[in-house]
Amino acid sequence: MGRIIAVLAFMVAALIGVVATDRPRPRADLVWIEPSDFNTIDPQRMSHLPDLRIAYALFEGLVRWDTSSEDLHVVPALARSWDVSGDRLTYTFHLDPEATWSNGDPVTASDFAYAWQRALMPETGADYIQLFHLIRGGREFTDFRAEQLKTYADRPESERTLDAAHMLRAEADRRFRATVAVSAEEARTLVVTLIRPVPFFLDLCAFGPFLPVHPLTLERFIDLDPRTAALHQRHGWTKPPFLVNNGPYVIERWRFKRDMRLTPNPHYRDRTLARSKSLAVNFIENQNTALLAFRSGAADWHSDLEVDYIGDLLDESRAGRRDDLRALDAFGTYFWSFNCSAKLSDGRDNPFHDPRVRRAFTLAVDKNAIVDQVRRGAERPATTLIPPGSIPGFRSPPGLPFDTARARAELESAGWIDRDSDGVPENAAGTPFPTVEMLATPVGAHKDVAQVLGRMWEAALGVPSKVVIRETKVYSASLKKQDYMVARGAWFGDYLDPSTFLEIHRTGNGNNDRAFSDPKYDRLLARADNEPEPARRLTLLEEAERYAMEEALPILPIWHYEHYYLARPENAPGGLKNLSTHPRLIQYPFLLEVAR
């Protein structure tokens, strides 16, 4: 009987604890809506815009962007100052001696070295690993580690032990310190040497993957796999109460797919920087619900409005019936990715491995009709990846037009011909072109766009299609594994240079979810990398985009983005102050505040 009473008492106490933790909190000073939960807040692993946005509230890098400026130039952040060598290869950063982590530990130059070594380790899975290869010795270190793991995997099972894996890691740590030109000359002095002059390197230092992490915290969440010697980095360190960060805010609570609440970091070096005493992020996947939540006053900002009736909302704005919709030209492009692998994930031959097929499907699409009739927003139809006119001095190519006759000719040249007059093209063996599976997420207009694309392809090429909807995280995992045929995609530039777009097609790039690999394209980028004369470098990059968008076609561009925020005017009660209108969509949550 006593045991039953004890168990009941425990259950009651647990229930009280759950109720207490789920009790509504007072409304935060600033509340914003995100369409989905964050994929990760691990700086080295992130690439999605919402993840980067929350990272800038939690972590602080060497520099940050001045979001009030037209050119988004960098200004000091954790680095109070820096020196650049005459050959523009070596950067010496002098860190703020007052900088501390949220547990009170000092932020040191070694913390940056540790974070950047993580980015270079292949098992970390950093999408932006190539950016760290701009550091002298970076690529060689990644190759060394990959070869180290490969050689280890070839050992007899009896020789693959935990001790052996630890020895390999120690060897990798020594190799990094000896060969990668990132060093902590003193506790607060970081020295970095590049492989070549990189005009946008300071821009990169403000970017999320270059943020520091707290080594002692991460090490508690790292296991070594004795079978592979790879570091298994568990994600628990990013969750409260374990997260140790160095930015203006800390996470008070994070409920998966529900909300996140942030409060000022008591150890942050500049307590005046955080404009709001509390921040809350509500994750609302249904955009109609999100719009109603904003209108009801439950939120001060909707960071990414994606509704299929955006045209109606814009009409209301133009007519003066609403003042809370902000449409911004964005440094980004909406497209559909072609899986360029030779085989599909189920082992079938992949017709999209052939660039002629990819050209055919691109030529068969009337982008103007999609923008005007489906999107019905302020977007511009796209024939290129880089938004024309967005980068000074860079001239965009024409791209491919809408031309159904040429589309059919391209498909026939690839061997897909309607041989039995049933309206569906077959290959030489008589096998019909497979049903094109179009992978999309449930948020926004992706399903509608997919259905229109499918109708256009069937009308012009005789190819059937179907839409496959997957939840955001499953969709993201499918992209990484090339578990799709055609998938919706988007890219926003991370720095003001053509390479921020063009790199996503380079062989092996962490953001090359299409498995696209073309020696000619790679050679053009390599030549641009090594071209010291700026005008000639841009010419090479112009040819790289022309080749990608007129011949190789790893993607089907649809429109250049407008980005839609919901926020009341900053001079009105409840209006949002300090919201940046720059096309790169950089927002620092700590600068945002609500007018009272």
Domains of the chain in sequence order: 25-300+573-596 (3.40.190.10), 329-563 (3.10.105.10)
The β-bridge partners of 279 are 30, 262
Question: How many Cβ atoms from other residues are within 10 Å of residue 312's Cβ?
Answer: 11
**Which tens digit of pLDDT belongs to each residue from 308-344?**
788 899 999 999 999 999 999 899 999 999 999 999 9
Question: CA dist 251 to 234, 241, 245, 276, 350, Å?
Answer: 18, 8, 9, 14, 45
Is pLDDT at 123 greater than 60 in this prediction? yes
**Which tens digit of pLDDT belongs to each residue from 95-122?**
999 999 999 999 999 999 999 999 999 9
* Predicted pLDDT of residue 19: 35
Q: Are 70 and 57 in contact (CB under 8 A)?
A: no
- The mean pLDDT value for 572-592 works out to 93
* Residue whose entry in the numeric block shows the structure tokens 């703020």: 96
Distance CA(362)–CA(404), nearest Å, equals: 9
pTM metric for this prediction: 0.80
In 485-554, the DSSP E strands lie at: 486-492
**Which tens digit of pLDDT belongs to each residue from 63-106?**
999 999 888 899 999 999 999 999 999 999 999 999 999 999 99
Residue 525 buriedness (CB in 10 A; 0-12 / 13-18 / 19+): buried
Q: Quickly state the pLDDT bin for 17 (edges 50, 70, 90).
A: very low
Q: What share of the chain is helix, strand, coil (3-state, %, to 5)?
A: 35, 20, 45
As a whole-number percent, the residues of the chain with pLDDT over 90 amount to: 86
Average pLDDT, rounded, for the chain = 93
Question: How many Cβ atoms from other residues are within 10 Å of residue 573's Cβ?
Answer: 9
Lookup: tokens for 197: 């002059």
Q: Quickly state the pLDDT bin for 22 (edges 50, 70, 90).
A: low
* Predicted pLDDT of residue 23: 63
As a whole-number percent, the residues of the chain with pLDDT over 70 amount to: 96
Question: How many Cβ atoms from other residues are within 10 Å of residue 186's Cβ?
Answer: 11
- Secondary structure in 3-state letters for 40-69: CCCHHHCCCHHHHHHHHHHCCCCEEECCCC
Q: Quickly state the pLDDT bin for 25 (edges 50, 70, 90).
A: confident
- The mean pLDDT value for 398-402 works out to 98
DSSP letter (8 states) at residue 497: S
* Predicted pLDDT of residue 224: 95
- The mean pLDDT value for 500-519 works out to 95
Residue 188's SS3 state is: coil
**Which tens digit of pLDDT belongs to each residue from 447-463?**
999 999 999 999 999 99
**Which tens digit of pLDDT belongs to each residue from 412-458?**
999 999 999 999 999 999 999 999 999 999 877 899 999 999 999 99
Strand 30-34, strand 301-302: pairing: parallel
* Predicted pLDDT of residue 15: 31
- The mean pLDDT value for 343-369 works out to 97
- The mean pLDDT value for 180-191 works out to 96
* Predicted pLDDT of residue 2: 38
* Predicted pLDDT of residue 71: 84
- The mean pLDDT value for 23-30 works out to 85
